[in-house]
Amino acid sequence: MSGKPLVAIVTAGLAKFGKREGLYGRELFQEAAKEAFDRCPNLDPKKDIEATFVGMMAEGFEHQGHTGPTVNAWLGFAPKPAFRTESACASSSAALAFGMYAVMSGAYDVVLCGGIEKMTNRSTPEVTEFLATASDFPFEQWHGITFPGLFAMMATAYMHRYGATEEHLAHVAVKNHYYGARNPKAHMQIEVTLEKVLSSRYVAWPLKLFDCSLITDGASCVVITRPELARKFTDTPVYIIGHGAAQDNIALYDRDDLTTSRAAREAAQKAYKMAGVEPKDIDVAEVHDCFTIAEIIAYEDLGFCGRGEGKDLVAEGQTYVGGKIPVNTSGGLKAKGHPVGATGTGQIYDIYKQLIGEAGPRQVPGAEIGLTHNLGGSAASAMVWILKRGD
Amino acid sequence: MSGKPLVAIVTAGLAKFGKREGLYGRELFQEAAKEAFDRCPNLDPKKDIEATFVGMMAEGFEHQGHTGPTVNAWLGFAPKPAFRTESACASSSAALAFGMYAVMSGAYDVVLCGGIEKMTNRSTPEVTEFLATASDFPFEQWHGITFPGLFAMMATAYMHRYGATEEHLAHVAVKNHYYGARNPKAHMQIEVTLEKVLSSRYVAWPLKLFDCSLITDGASCVVITRPELARKFTDTPVYIIGHGAAQDNIALYDRDDLTTSRAAREAAQKAYKMAGVEPKDIDVAEVHDCFTIAEIIAYEDLGFCGRGEGKDLVAEGQTYVGGKIPVNTSGGLKAKGHPVGATGTGQIYDIYKQLIGEAGPRQVPGAEIGLTHNLGGSAASAMVWILKRGD
């Protein structure tokens, strides 16, 4: 196993996910940053942090773009540079990539990477409309399809090919709510039964209300540095040892296969190769369960099981702690919530907590290597990160 | 003079700026890429280009976000990764920074960086509203101010402190239209007289119609690589030898001084230092004349003259070819046009053309070192690039 560290994470923070009334996205980012700074007393943020990289999906939500200076000014970081990235629901994974390259290039030693999205101030139709901008305008949006419909088509194709049922999908929701109920930062801290999921109303057949992730406000961040500087800031660094980014054609009609994500498979292959690890080496993973079907497909795209076997992996309980590969012990997008721009580094935050042994009742014992899988839109973009605990 | 090359530009392209009816932004990007690829026969785009970085300001214009996969799919580049950046009107300078760091980090050898904005399909009030998202929502937009008003406040402060007049501002418009009339890629290829500018209707006092840049469709791009690989692709590489990015507080009320841009000054200082050059070494510059006042302030922030002297520099004709420092020989945002997301790498395109000696009737004889100055919003962000012709 190689796995040369690319950069080190020295601290991380997450604003509580949920309906955060009365707060702007910039204030949520401040809340996330405060946690990160508080847990890293050796870091002097205004002195040490040289640039900020922030992911946000849609300026429509708050009628606010120019997110770099907006969040940076609120942290008192001007005139230091700040940049925004957008890759739909993978926007903050893109911010982390930008920040990582900036550090690896030698331009900066220490940077802040994160993401925000403030969604609950908008009505559900407005949210649905803003989210739809991540799909293809002339060939998808124009015809009225929105994200539940796009993922419903993937679910239908998967069910048809592999004989999966709505019950298979429901197992994902039950598991992720089980963990959400144990995560104080999660949006929905309640358990649900298989019956409750199966009897919830249809949003887009076969996807029901409890197959869908949440409309959530949130922010998340990490502070990264060159590996050799990590111990200056913390005794418990976590290293990024693998990263892969890839994409697929934007519109679903233009994909080879709806039962898998080419972008995710490519991204995973690159990340595994770079990290020098295999799927079986991963101790814990956060995957992009924007809809339950997406988690099942993610298992397969990440190589945790063979094609068509993801439905059984979850039904057999193999993705709980104690199983073959624990997935979404944070509650996932399904129960922790999905403030789209904050999701990518929010996943990184949860893996970071697992690797430093702070996941509480959701802890995977002895977790050493973790992975995040973050999709943009209908998997037109994907990023995979592999993290390793410092020795 | 040091100026170690950071990366090399091996080719560049620009879709004609203007009202490009019937074309999507992604198609304009394709047009820009085609020019870049056509002028670089040694480049095999699908094989050589490993990632795409694209700046775009607002998904509102085309109801289309997720710009990375959108443009990349249209180029046939899937599954290679593609990312979007946003920094208001400096969005594609941010894309270039992302791509540059990615190359400098060793992650990629050859990448495509550019930007797009499709604006003219929207009504002027809609455009004004989308652009306003680059200012502060609670403290600016909420009170009804839009960009002409924000820059009018800067103009007023500048006029009050330095005794500048509307005529000083008008000289910027006359110069930039003079060059726009000679640039076949410009949106408005017409000359204007001082009288015409001065008699145009007020938009926000003291700024009149001809003090404002244009609502334009456009796209631009460059292909960059590691300096040592440049000659594999071209005999006329142009090197990026300096780069600076900085920001200011997002809202105008929160700035120390309205007659200068702290962000631009910081960015320029960093870029000059990195490049090992001084303002007097710059042979040609493209600066961010979103409003005429912005160009005058840019002269000063870039050190082309002292504070309060920018008004005289333009009035004396010193920023024409043949003068002390030729500025905006492309026509600038004023006449070439300002498709916001495309502007940053559009400025790079024009400096690239000057440095390879292809600026035609607008050529600065023997230009060796060029500079671009790109503001985001009301200068809440700024980026400065310094380019040098290969020997």
Domain ranges within chain A, ordered by starting residue: 7-122+216-238, 142-212+241-389
Q: Which helix (H) or strand (E) holds B376?
A: strand B369-376
Mean pLDDT in residue range B200-211: 98
Q: State how far the Cα of B91 lies from the Cα of B95, in Å rounded to an integer.
A: 6
Q: Above 60 in pLDDT, residue B69?
A: yes
Residue type, B280: K
Rounded Cα gap, residues B288 and B294, in angstroms: 7
Determine, for residues A80 and B250 on separate chains, whether the beta-carbon distance falls below 8 Å.
no
pLDDT for the residue numbered A2: 63
Q: A24 and chain B: CB distance < 8 Å anywhere?
A: yes
Q: How many CB pairs (< 8 A) connect A and B?
A: 212
Tokens 């005529």 found at: B167
For residue A380, the chain B residues in CB contact (below 8 A) are 66, 69-70, 73
pLDDT digits (tens, 9 = 90+) for B270-319: 999 999 999 999 999 999 999 999 999 999 999 999 999 999 999 999 99
> Does the ipTM exceed 0.95?
yes
pLDDT digits (tens, 9 = 90+) for B153-186: 999 999 999 999 999 999 999 999 999 999 999 9
- In three-state secondary structure terms, A14 is strand
Average pLDDT value for chain A: 97
A316 contact partners, CB below 8 Å, separation of at least 6: A323
B355, B235 in Cβ contact below 8 A?
A: no
**DSSP for residue B291:** B
* pLDDT of B372 above 60: yes
CB within 8 Å of A56: residues ≥ 6 apart: A25, A67, A84, A86, A91, A115, A116, A117, A341
Please give the pLDDT value at position B1. 44
Closest CA to B179 of B389, B302, B8, B330: B330
Domain A7-122+216-238, CATH 3.40.47.10 — does that match? yes
Closest CA to A52 of A10, A84, A9: A84
Extract the tokens encoding B16: 């004609």
Alpha helix stretches (DSSP H) within chain B: 25-38, 45-48, 67-74, 91-104, 124-132, 147-162, 166-180, 194-198, 230-233, 262-275, 292-301, 310-315, 332-335, 340-355
> Which tokens in the block code for residue A13?
């923070």
- Residue ranges of chain A whose pLDDT lies below 70: 1-2
Distance of alpha carbon B71 from alpha carbon B288, whole angstroms: 25
Give the pairing type, strands B82-86 and A7-18.
unpaired
Tell me which residue of B264, B286, B267, B262 sits closest to B342, measured CA to CA: B286
Judge contact between B128 and B47, C-beta under 8 A: no
pLDDT of residue B2: 63
- Rounded to the nearest angstrom, the minimum Cα separation between B58 and chain A is 7
Give CATH for domain B144-214+240-389.
Answer: 3.40.47.10
| Residues near B47 by beta carbon (within 8 Å), at least 6 away in sequence | none
Please say whether the dihedral angle defined by the alpha carbons of residues A280, A285, A288 and A294, taken in this order, is positive or negative: positive
With a CB-CB cutoff of 8 Å, which residues 226-265 of chain B face chain A? 245-251, 254, 262-263
Note whether B143 contacts A: Cβ–Cβ < 8 A.
no
Q: Is B68 on the interface with A (CB under 8 A)?
A: yes
Q: Indicate if B144-214+240-389 has the same CATH topology as B7-122+216-238.
A: yes
Nearest to A70 among B51, B250, B263 (CB): B250
In chain A, what residues touch B247 (CB-CB under 8 Å)? 68-69, 72-73, 78-82
A142-212+241-389: CATH topology is Peroxisomal Thiolase; Chain A, domain 1 (3.40.47)
Beta-carbon contacts of A22 under 8 Å, excluding residues fewer than 6 positions away, are none
In sequence order, which residues have a C-beta less than 8 Å from that of residue A280 and are 6 or more positions away? none
The C-alpha atoms of residue B342 and residue B61 are separated, in whole angstroms, by: 14
Taking a C-beta distance cutoff of 8 angstroms, is the pair A333, A215 a contact? Answer: no
Tell me what the mean pLDDT of segment B27-42 comes to: 98
In angstroms, the CA A389 to CA A274 distance is 16
Chain B closest CA to A176's CA: distance in Å? 27
Contact B238, B222 (CB under 8 A): no
Whether A98 contacts chain B with CB within 8 A: yes
Chain mean pLDDT for chain B:
97
